Structure 1
Amino acid sequence: MLKVGDKLPAGSLQEFIEVEGNGCSLGPNTFDVEKETAGKKIAIFALPGAFTPTCSAQHVPGYVKNAEALKAAGVDEIWCISVNDAFVMGAWGRDQHTLGKVRMMADGSGTFTQATGLTLDLIARGMGVRSQRYSMLVDNGVVKTLNIEAPGKFEVSNAETILAQAKA
């Protein structure tokens, strides 16, 4: 399992981009995690699924609300990672008003999540293997803080916790 001091695992994530720019075409684009984190401080939070109750009512809105404060604390980007496809993450981003604040990164097949060791088995609930709920600060690809939620909890992976850690 991923821990503080580890480098993020190699892999890629997808983001649905609706506005052409920065050399990215419209639609799902694949990004190499190592290249995207190089030289940046990134707040990453992961959650079990798009459009699910806690994720939509609390987790994503907290990061949207605190995006400017996180950037003022030295965070270059904020990523939301979920084991959903890029189309779903794009639609969820529109619904949550994340544009310019939070990058909605899809781990459609769950390969990045599996590589972190932070999977959550929701097969019995009809959702397959998803991501645990967690947050972390990553500096130049290295995990500096890691906050993993206990099952069914939402206490340590919120934006306020990461903001306090970014300011420390």
Structure 2
Amino acid sequence: MIKVGDKLPGGTLFEYIEVATEGCSLGPNPVDVAKATAGKTIAIFGVPGAFTPTCSVQHAPGYIDAAEAFKAAGVDEIWCVAVNDAFVMGAWGRELNAAGKVRMLADGSGDFAKATGLVLDLSAKGLGLRSGRFSMLVKDGVVTQLNDEQGGGYAVSDAATLLKQAQG
């Protein structure tokens, strides 16, 4: 499992873009993890799934509401990562009014979750392999803080905890 001091694994996440811009076409766009984190401070939080109760009511809204405070603490971007496709992540982001605050990134096949070791097996509940619930602070591609819920729960990966860590 990934730990503080490790470089994030390379790979590609996908982001649904609603309005085409220079360099970003309408629809799912690839986000190269190594390139997107280079030279930046990124707050990343992982959730088991879009539109799920704890994720939709507490986890994601906490980061959306704290977006300005994260920027003030020197965080360039906030990423929400889930094992869902880019269309679902885009729809969830629209529902949560995340635009401009949190990038909703899809890990459709769970490759990022597997590469970090932050996997939650919810097969017994019909959900398959998902991202575990976690938060991390990443500086120039290197993990400087990691809060892993270790199999579920919602106690250490909340926005307030990671914000305090970012504020140092």
Deviation at residue 133 of structure 1 after TM alignment = 0.2
Residue correspondence of structure 1 range 2-151 to structure 2 within 5 A:
2-151=2-151
After superposition, what is the alpha-carbon deviation per residue over 1:86-132, rounded to whole angstroms, capped at 9, x for unaligned?
A: 00000000001000000000000001110001111001100010011
After superposition, what is the alpha-carbon deviation per residue over 1:44-103, rounded to whole angstroms, capped at 9, x for unaligned?
A: 000100000000000000001000000010000000000000000000000010000000
> What stretches of structure 1 of length at least 5 have no aligned partner?
none
The percentage of counterpart residues that share the same residue type is: 67
Change (3 A) 1:5 1:127: same
Could you list the runs of 4 or more consecutive aligned residues of structure 1 that deviate by over 6 angstroms after TM superposition?
A: none
CA distance in 2, matches of 1:150, 1:111: 18
Are the equivalent residues in 1 in contact too, given 2:2–2:117 (CA < 8 A)?
yes
CA distance in 2, matches of 1:150, 1:37: 25
- Aligned residue-pair number: 168
Q: What is the SS of the residue equivalent to 2:55?
A: helix
TM-score, structure 1 length as denominator?
A: 0.98
TM-score, structure 2 length as denominator?
A: 0.98
> What stretches of structure 2 of length at least 5 have no aligned partner?
none
Are the equivalent residues in 1 in contact too, given 2:132–2:152 (CA < 8 A)?
no
CA distance in 1, matches of 2:22, 2:138: 22
